Amino acid sequence: MGKSNRSQEAQIFELLRRGATISPFEAVAMFDCLRLGARIYDLRRKGWAIKSFINPGKKRYAVYFMTRNSRKRSKSAPQDSI
């Protein structure tokens, strides 16, 4: 699995920064992350513009992504680095 010394947050951020999407199922498989929504929340609090859509179907779940030109939202956002 995706075990690493890097934090789940940093690994998820890097994946999104490269233009990929991530769902809760992928987060578990790739990073052993059971709380993707919490990691996305943390990244958004740091000012990153992460968007989501709901995957339609019998089982609905959020899929998260960043656009290529996503940047921190404002200078007043927390300046924590990933």
Q: Is the pLDDT of residue 77 over 60?
A: no
Q: Percent of the chain scored above 90 by pLDDT? A: 68
Assigned token pair, 29: 């498989």
Reply yes or no on whether the pLDDT at 47 is more than 60. yes
DSSP H or E segment with residue 63: strand 61-65
pLDDT at 78 over 80: no
pLDDT at site 10: 96
Q: Which two tokens stand for residue 17?
A: 């920064």
- Above 90 in pLDDT, residue 13? yes
Q: What is the model's pLDDT at position 57? A: 86
**DSSP helix/strand/coil, 55:** strand
Place 45 in a pLDDT band, splitting at 50, 70 and 90. Answer: very high
Residue 66 clears pLDDT 70, i.e. is over it: yes
What are the φ and ψ backbone dihedral angles of 51, each rounded to 5 degrees? Answer: -105, 165
